[in-house]
Structure 1
Amino acid sequence: MINKWTISAAIVAMTLSLPLAAAQAQPAAGPAFAMPSTQMFETQSDGGETYRIFISYPKGEPPEGGFPVLYIIDGNAYFASFAETRRLLEYAEKGNALVVGVGYPTDDAYDARRTGDFLFPVPTVGPPAQAKSQPSATNTGRDKFLDFLTGKLRTEIGKRYKINPDRQSLFGHSFGGLFAIHALYARPGAFQSIVAASPSLEWNVQDLLREERAFTAKLTSGQVTKTSRLMLVAGDQDTDDDAEPARALAARLDPLSAYGLSTRYRLYEDEIHMTVPARAVTDTLRFVLR
């Protein structure tokens, strides 16, 4: 027979077990993890936009001529992967470079401001499928962002570290990859090496083709005398259909090697759009630091 004392004992036992269960579900918070050999600061562009800058730096002295620098846009999302890989490469004497993540003052992986920084003006009327991804007419700041990367930010990094001005590289993914290719076309000599991962080349009805044609004409006519090296990477399961446009772009640019443009293309098996950057970390560091 169940009496009131049995019920009371059960209630007491259940009550006593609650704090333990809660403690198991929500462990006490410890100190936040800080990545070794890194620093972070915030700075503003000439237009007053605030950016959060992450830096991964070597322990040793800079090489003759200064540290090579790899700029990672969407730094909130990708900096940590590149920083830790660079740090491990120091054990193989191959990580003597700076990795600079360029991000935004948020703890989220991505910030809405990226569309204004990475994309170009869109037509008044666009395909319905692209309407949701189109920025507003005022978000046309990609060249201002490029000014920031190659001007004020580069100067600030140079004040903090001895850097090699001739070994500056850029990595971007998705819309960031599209921006990276724009940087090649708009300022061919601004970066020694550029890596565009799963670039969204289909965006805005491949409007970047206009820039490609103009760049090709200038390069083949001798108007461009110094140009970046370019590596395009994509996944064979890219949901945004970025693999084939990237391969086709590499094929179109390959003949320009006769005029000084070096282009490479890599396709990663079993990778989707969001996993391509992680797969590309080692290839990118090898490409820009060799």
Structure 2
Amino acid sequence: MTAAQLCALGGPAIAAAPPAGQAGAVVPASAEWDMRSEATGATYRISVAEPVSGMPAAGVPVLYVLDGNGCFGTATDMARIQELGMETRGVLVVAIGYPLGDDPAATRERRRLQRVMDLTPDAPQGAEALVARQMGGAPVGGAARFLQFLKRELEPELARRYRIDAADTALFGHSLAGRFALDTAFTHPESFRTIVAASPSIYWGGGDLLAREKDFARRVAAGGKGPRLLITVGGLEETVLDLPLPGEADRAGYAQYVREARTVENAREMAGRLAKLPSGSGFVTDFALFEGETHVGTVAAALARGIRFAFAAFAFPKADAGAGGRR
């Protein structure tokens, strides 16, 4: 597997369909449907899990989870166990993924191409070749349309099916989806009350996200609106692991990707800059580094911390920076 493929497939792996003649496990108090978007032209698998305590009359908060094929079960478990522990409020988990097909390889490739399109803006001028290498040749540029699907198509459909609190929503994204989450926070800060960007691909496109961050910082400093923003990263994400890659070229490409991505330092540096902004107009920021966690392994930790950050039932003390928490 090349570095470009590792990057492009950075989100959680797509779930496999159960073997023929066998029913898959069922998540209690959940629903699932496929929804075709007018904005993107693609079809999405929407998975929804209700809170343990039921649906409040005043409306239930909503957690939107990207890469839903891989994250729905984990997000549901994290939300429900923290609710049972009285640490967080009940939340409606809404995972956005892609329909599964009978051919796993073809399904994975379709999902890869659509995922890259959905989560990326247009390639920055002059960086087209770099983006093509980073994304393994997959087309880019659909982020604005995907956000339109989330807000103008999916959210009204959820409001039709459930009594939701549209003012209390959170968006969770990991890896390339974490970059989409940051892009959304910087360019459309009114879209979600809380943004959780886990291991975000800040390096994508040569770091064009940094210009959007600067524009956002100027607006917040001038009193503009900002969401509640949590950035997380795993402590081993800049460590070259001994993966069972098939050849020396693949291992060299993977090592180059790890060095160029600077996932830990980019996340830490961005969080440090944002922490210096005034906390008016609703803007709050925090950072969590999970020691000993890899790019993939950090998903569960980021979901647990993110759900608590967005929907805490009471004020938690700040994590001890020396213990690998907030830095």
Is the structural similarity TM-score above 0.5? yes
Aligned to 1:249: 270
Aligned to 1:97: 91
Q: What is the distance in 2 between the residues matched to 1:81 and 1:99? A: 10
Q: Is the 8 A contact 1:104 1:111 kept in 2?
A: no
Aligned to 1:232: 231
Give the secondary-structure state (helix, strand or coil) at the position aligned to 1:253. Answer: helix
Q: Compute the TM-score of the two structures, normalised by the length of structure 2.
A: 0.73
- Is 2:44 aligned against 1:44? no
For residues 39 and 245 of structure 1, do their structure 2 counterparts lie closer, same or farther at Cα, with a shift above 3 Å needed?
Answer: same
Number of equivalences:
262
Q: Is the 8 A contact 1:56 1:100 kept in 2?
A: yes
1:180-259 paired onto structure 2 within 5 Å: 180-222=181-223, 224=224, 226-239=225-238, 240=258, 241-259=262-280
Aligned to 1:4: none
1:46-85 paired onto structure 2 within 5 Å: 46-47=38-39, 48-85=41-78
Q: What is the distance in 1 between the residues matched to 2:163 and 2:57? A: 10
Aligned to 2:301: 279
Gaps of 5+ in 2: 1-18, 102-106, 239-257, 313-327
Give the secondary-structure state (helix, strand or coil) at the position aligned to 1:151. Answer: helix
Q: Compute the TM-score of the two structures, normalised by the length of structure 1.
A: 0.82
Amino acid at match of 1:193: T
Q: CA RMSD in A?
A: 2.5
Amino acid at match of 1:111: R
Q: Is the 8 A contact 1:116 1:135 kept in 2?
A: no
Q: Is the 8 A contact 2:78 2:304 kept in 1?
A: yes
Deviation string, structure 1 residues 134-192 (Cα, Å, up to 9, x no partner): 37696311011111111110011111111111101000001100000011111111111
Q: What is the distance in 2 between the residues matched to 1:214 and 1:136? A: 29
For residues 238 and 75 of structure 1, do their structure 2 counterparts lie closer, same or farther at Cα, with a shift above 3 Å needed?
Answer: same
Q: What is the distance in 1 between the residues matched to 2:117 and 2:213? A: 21
Q: What is the distance in 1 between the residues matched to 2:190 and 2:159? A: 18
Q: What is the distance in 2 between the residues matched to 1:116 and 1:254? A: 31
Q: CA deviation at 1:85?
A: 2.4
Deviation string, structure 1 residues 10-63 (Cα, Å, up to 9, x no partner): xxxxxxxxxxxxxxxxx9975421122221101121233211101011254433
Amino acid at match of 1:278: A
Q: What is the distance in 2 between the residues matched to 1:28 and 1:214? A: 52
Which residue among 256, 263, 267 is the counterpart of 2:285? 263
Deviation string, structure 1 residues 192-243 (Cα, Å, up to 9, x no partner): 1110000011111111111111112222223x2x321000000111144211
Q: CA deviation at 1:266?
A: 0.6
Q: CA deviation at 1:87?
A: 2.8
Q: What is the distance in 2 between the residues matched to 1:114 and 1:137? A: 9
Q: What is the distance in 2 between the residues matched to 1:89 and 1:124? A: 44
Query: Does 1 or 2 have the higher relative contact order (CA < 8 Å, sep 6+)?
Result: 2
Q: What is the distance in 2 between the residues matched to 1:188 and 1:85? A: 25
**Percentage of identical aligned residues:** 33
Which residue among 311, 314, 323 is the counterpart of 1:289? 311
Give the secondary-structure state (helix, strand or coil) at the position aligned to 2:46. Answer: strand
Aligned to 2:320: none
Aligned to 2:81: 88
